[in-house]
Amino acid sequence: MIDALQDGSISKTNLPKAARPFKKVWETMTIEDGLILIDSRKIVVPVSARQKVLRLLHLAHQGITRTYERARTLFFWPGMKNDIVNITESCELCQLYSPSLSQEPLKSDAILPLRPFESVSADLFEYGGRSFLAYVDRYSGWVCFDAFGKTPSTREVVQSIKRIFACFGIPLRIRTDGGPQFSSAEFLQFCRDDCIQPVISSAFHPQSNGHAEAAVKMLKNLVKKHWISGRLDREGFDAALLEWRNIPREDGKSPAQWLFGFNLRTRIPSHPSTRLSLDSKEFGNGLERRSLELDKDKLQYDTRARSHDPLNVGDRVRIQNVISKLWDRQGIIHSIRDSGRSYVVLIGSRRYVRNRRYLRPIRSQLQSAMEFGNGVKCSPVNPVDPLPRRSNRMKKKIVRFTLE
């Protein structure tokens, strides 16, 4: 390189092979005290020294952007940014303490219910040492409730749900959080017997079962306010739940109106005209308003969201611990769930369902371990060989003409 620069007959149009990667900056290169400089200030790092320079640049354990901004003020070599990306993403400490991923844009159900109790959500919650079941219609928002003396078995949950079936029919789909009662072989067999599609949300990601979570929040609030002397005042609770079922939602209609077509009579005095059945026009207006509210909620939610690259079966990933926030486990993508945003991850012989937000891909190139100068073990790719980048343009066959 130095010989080529000192040879005044060499320009960027006739560079030797070793100097061709520097074609774009050739005219800005100079020699000073045996060093090749770009713009008289950036040191051109030879291949033999790049690994050491990368170690020094990574001492502060900053992210890709900050490390690259620091490097580009001091050094230059072809593929420098790619090498910095590799060395940062392969550092064990940097990956362990990586920040949480942002939430993804809001995604509605692929199949929206068209009738009451066609699709439902179910969840269990505890208060005061007792367990309770929340069972919610995804069309009307109607909430069903049951109480248990202690943590219920799968059989007790199934019997409770069967009693709800007797009142409102058997749904096509039931979404749960995959708790022990809802992921057991007995519950899955119960679903098969009644031709119900069980849908299990991702673990530690309540947004994926947000419909049931919202009902749990409301029911727990009512239970708390009717908890007297260590037990639930069922009479007061039932009266409050009845009143809640008549309260209009964001779409302007109450769960009772969506389910029965009219509001129910409660202890609150009201004129009979307030409980008239809705006509088709009012239903249509309610559906339109519901759609507008959903779009509004999505727009507001998505302002803080960002899509993440999808993962593929066989990809190696890091899994975030939702309590410590550390990315301290590794696994392999076993399968992709229907939503496209949650995955079945294989860790050893066990399978876990996790949302994309709690999974970070491990670059497949980062295999060879290296001990850094500060004692941190990293696994960078060879910084000497940046990934090749080729043009997608069609190459025309060379036609040579001879003059006779």
Domains and CATH numbers, the chain: 1-97 (1.10.340.70), 119-297 (3.30.420.10), 308-378 (2.30.30.30)
Question: Locate tokens 């559906």: which residue?
Answer: 287
pLDDT at 114: 87
pLDDT at 368: 35
Any idea how long the chain is?
404
pLDDT of residue 109: 65
Model pLDDT, residue 374? 39
Task: Report the Cα–Cα distance between both ends of the chain, in Å, rounded.
Answer: 41
Residues 6+ apart with CB under 8 A from 373: 55, 56, 59
CA distances from 179 to 123, 154, 157 (A): 8, 10, 12
Cα–Cα distance, 390 to 386 (Å, whole number):
12
Q: How far apart are CA 251 and CA 287, in angstroms?
A: 7
Per the rule left: phi > 0, alpha: psi between -120 and 50, beta: everything else, 33 is left
Q: What share of the chain is helix, strand, coil (3-state, %, to 5)?
A: 35, 20, 45
| DSSP helix/strand/coil, 267 | coil
Point out which residues pair with 345 in neighbouring strands: 333, 352
Sign of the torsion angle spanned by Cα atoms 203, 207, 209, 214: positive
**Average pLDDT per 10 consecutive residues for the chain, totaling 404 residues:** 71 77 84 87 91 92 90 92 89 85 75 87 92 93 93 95 96 90 94 93 67 86 93 94 93 92 92 87 87 82 85 92 90 88 90 89 54 40 41 53 46
- Whole-number pLDDT of residue 306: 86
Residue type for 129, please? G
Work out the number of other CB atoms within 10 angstroms of the CB of residue 307. Answer: 11
Question: What residues contact 76, with CB distance under 8 A and at least 6 apart?
Answer: 25, 38, 42, 43, 44, 45
pLDDT for residue 71: 93
Contacts of 401 (CB under 8 A, 6+ apart): none
Q: Which tokens sit at 225?
A: 């306010």
Residue from 326, 362, 317, 363 nearest 344 by CA: 317
H or E stretch covering 200: strand 197-200
